[in-house]
Structure 1
């Protein structure tokens, strides 16, 4: 099995854009033989610094799952009403325009590669409800427009992020999974579209402050017939360099000896195995991982090793679950 890797989250951190450092990292990622392609961050253009550099340096055989989270969070920092679920009409229009720009980037990448290389686009139901109002009605109106565009073979999913829950301080504060599922079902019924759901383990654990949260979210999405993808990111409930209950994409806890893992991660071997089983991984359109690493000045070899060992851990667990 091959996986989607959110390699951008582990990329070297530099004070300014240093293409030679990023190229060294990406060339090492290309050597991982179980990478099917990348979860690709979108901030407003195909690449945050240089489209041409990106097109020159990617593996032409890779496939892609676009994510708008980096761009969405950047937009929210400037406009708290931004997003496709916003009840503020200007904020909702800005959210739709953001995905229109992503649509253009999808077409550009496919045209460069001469094939339909983008498998999925992940949408997000901002704004943060602690700062601006949002609703399923607003989301439905936005989705009805977005699904009408020709995405050149790319499927559309809502990636569920941590929702606003009374008594907890959210990092994202977007719509609940139940609201997202109900809205997707309504849009699919009305338009004949095939919108789905993707789940990031760490973000569901963050919302529920529990390792049971990702399993429950996977069950809900699967029972609704909407689960399309699963991405592994870890999280901790104790003080670590990754923070306590923070969406920092912590690596998993030790899965096998002498690997690159993170002490204190709630994403243990047992939880990864339960998650794959609950998700029905054999039926998913994509499975993968998105990791952050600490310290931030970690060398390239170690950054690649964290990704390598996480993907090898998934390989190990899926082979045991066949």
Structure 2
């Protein structure tokens, strides 16, 4: 890098750092200058440096701006190199309308990051997401991993309403008669109650991959999820589907019952190695794991 280019990059980094730590309005950031710098082959290094000077800055980790501000910043930053961003409407309350599904939880962010680093798992495949919540994970996969079709699902009416809004907000159509642009997946939002869904209903989705994030929060829900996995395994007729579940370990019991029930049902599973990049703001101290469960068709499930 020429001396004048290095000086310009340093000045740009300082500008982003000062504005972010002061929580200045996002339009005040030097976005146009950043776009010019990203035309250089070393643009990816500049983006990583900006992340280190903003959301991963030691001061920000301890006393950073609000999560909403950080997410808006990251959404705008990510859009610069890729042309894609995820816009999300969600509740500001952890529990709202009798559900926790109106906000995005850490494991959903973690799973989205892993998916972006492992797009081949989802490319040109049909994905069924269980307990989609606000929809961030699925929207990230739809924009970055090029699935053939994506089915968001949840059971709470208010969550489904918000979910449909977020899908439309990000430029996807829910009208089955609307022509799909090349490279864009067919997107569906489905009401799916784990205690009432039938094997025939699950079979109709024809999912190649099934995912879920932060759904292991009580034993009743865990048992219901295993029930759904048994039905999914039973209705697989062509290829073996894989199920990826991400969850935050909040106590020693988190995930323990789930693994016990998986073993009892005869499912093969393995822990997915952690990914390297962090794109979204969540608790650094959080211990989040992703399990891969092979939904192999078996008799007697």
TM bracket (short chain): 0.3 to 0.5
Q: Which protein is bigger by CA-based radius of gyration?
A: 2
Q: Normalization by structure 2: what TM-score?
A: 0.35
State TM-score, norm by structure 1: 0.34
